[in-house]
Amino acid sequence: MTNQEILEAVGAAFPDGILGHGEFREDLTLLIRKEDLLRIAGFVKRDLGFDLLIDILGVDHFRAAGRFEVVYNVWSLLHKRYLRLKVPAEEEHPVVPTVTGIWPGANWHERETFDMFGIRFEGHPDLRRLYMPDEFEYYPLRKDFPLMGIPDSLPLPRR
Amino acid sequence: MALDTLQRDGFLTTRLDEVINWSRKNSLWPMPMGISCCAIEMMATAAPRFDISRFGSEVMRFTPRQCDVMIVAGTVTFKMAKVVRKIYDQMPDPKWVISMGACASSGGMFRSYSVVQGIDQFIPVDVFVAGCPPRPEALLQGLMELQRKIAGDRTIGRLLHGEPIRIPAPALPPAQSSMEGLSS
Ligand code: SF4
């Protein structure tokens, strides 16, 4: 299955679902609407055979429109190729539906993305922080977070 | 009692400090607080080639209650700092701390929001060992430095004057982060 065939198959099933696409080092990237994420994710898993979720990550573009983006890297054991799905999320309340129902392995990846970027995954079974302490109030991989952190936001034991 | 009687009966006169310090410094049981890559060099120090048992410190205990010196070998994050402090507090007095490597001593290359920039911010440190990672010889030298420090201690004098070996640790504020999920 070539990238062209993937693109055509998704395009045929979701005529206005694809906002854009690109190719990098022979891997296809599809920019899709948030509303279509669950259906397109289900489609590429069920009908195109992208059965293994490699990683989910967030991107902070730090621009006025479409500040955040969630990237899903999926791999097909059958076709031996990658597909990348990108979903934009707005700045104020970034929310994206969870794909744990489609790829159960998304659970901790989404928790990590939530922990680092504050992007909420609607319907996630257990959306807690993964790395930072529960009481931490910031999202460290956002571009407006200072490198050395916010003073006193992470309390140390007293000496 | 003449001197020759003393010698014949196997007596030895010395200072109490000397005996106590000598026995303390030659059996320092380490608490291996191996948090990241430095721990590999700490393990090498315990292995036959470098053989930390030459200095009486081969008994690495994984329970803090049997330990004398905590070797903090690795990158201490803010989240881990609470655990390090808790383990330190569980060690019985007298106790010492070796900060092994750049990370534990100063945050090392991890100049970032998540890493404590030096463990002396939350526990008293006796010896800092430089390096990333320090070679086993460096850790051994750190241990010998600690032994030298202990040998010069006024143990009895401080006991008589009621000075504590360590300033007692203040009571910890109630844990704010639930670490329960990690251990269960
Ligand atoms: S000082 Fe170097 S070797 Fe030691 S824990 Fe830090 S990065 Fe690892």
Domains of chain A in sequence order: 3-122 (3.30.460.80)
Q: How many other C-beta atoms lie within 10 A of the C-beta of residue A24?
A: 9
Q: Quote the ligand 1 centre to B36 CA distance (angstroms).
A: 7
* Interface contact flag, A148 B177, Cβ < 8 Å: no
Q: Quote the ligand 1 centre to B35 CA distance (angstroms).
A: 9
**Residue in B36, B43, B84 to alter for ligand 1 test, most ligand atoms within 8 A of Cβ:** B36
Closest residue CA from atom 2 of ligand 1: B132
Q: Does residue B1 carry a pLDDT above 70?
A: no
Per-residue confidence (pLDDT) for residue B176, from 0 to 100: 47
Hey, of A128, A131, A132, which one would you mutate to test binding to chain B, going by the most B CBs within 10 A of its CB? Answer: A132
Which residues in chain A are closer than 8 Å to B121, comparing Cβ atoms?
Answer: 156, 159
| Residue whose C-alpha is closest to residue B129's, from B109, B99, B149 | B99
B46-84 residue pLDDT tens: 999 999 999 989 899 889 999 999 999 999 999 999 999
Q: DSSP states of B27-49 as a string?
A: ---EEEEE-STHHHHHHHHHSTT
Say yes or no: ipTM exceeds 0.90. no
Q: Is A74 in contact with A109 (CB distance < 8 Å)?
A: no
Contact residues of ligand 1, CB 6 A cut-off: B 36-38, 74-75, 101-103, 108, 132-133
Question: Which residue(s) pair with B128 in the sheet?
Answer: B99
Which residues in chain A are closer than 8 Å to B173, comparing Cβ atoms?
Answer: 155, 157-158
CA distance B109 to A130: 23
B127-170 residue pLDDT tens: 999 999 999 999 999 999 999 888 887 777 777 776 655 544 44
Would you place residue B98 in the very low, low, confident or very high pLDDT band (cuts 50, 70, 90)? very high
Query: Nearest C-alpha of chain B: how many angstroms from A38?
Result: 31
Alpha helices in A14-125 (DSSP H): 37-46, 106-117
| Domain positions in chain B | 15-165
A83-100 residue pLDDT tens: 999 999 988 889 999 999
Low-confidence ranges of chain A (pLDDT < 50): none
Is the CB of residue A140 less than 8 Å away from at least one CB of chain B? yes
When the candidates are 3.90.950.10, 3.40.50.12280, 3.40.640.10, 3.40.50.12780, the CATH number that belongs to B15-165 is 3.40.50.12280
Name the B residues in 26-45 with CB < 8 Å from any A CB.
Answer: none
B3-35 residue pLDDT tens: 676 667 666 677 788 888 899 889 999 999 999
CA distance B107 to A143: 22
Residue with tokens 């948030």: A34
What does R_g of chain B's alpha carbons equal in angstroms?
19
Query: Which atom of ligand 1 lies closest to the CA of B74?
Result: 5
- B105-119 average pLDDT score: 91
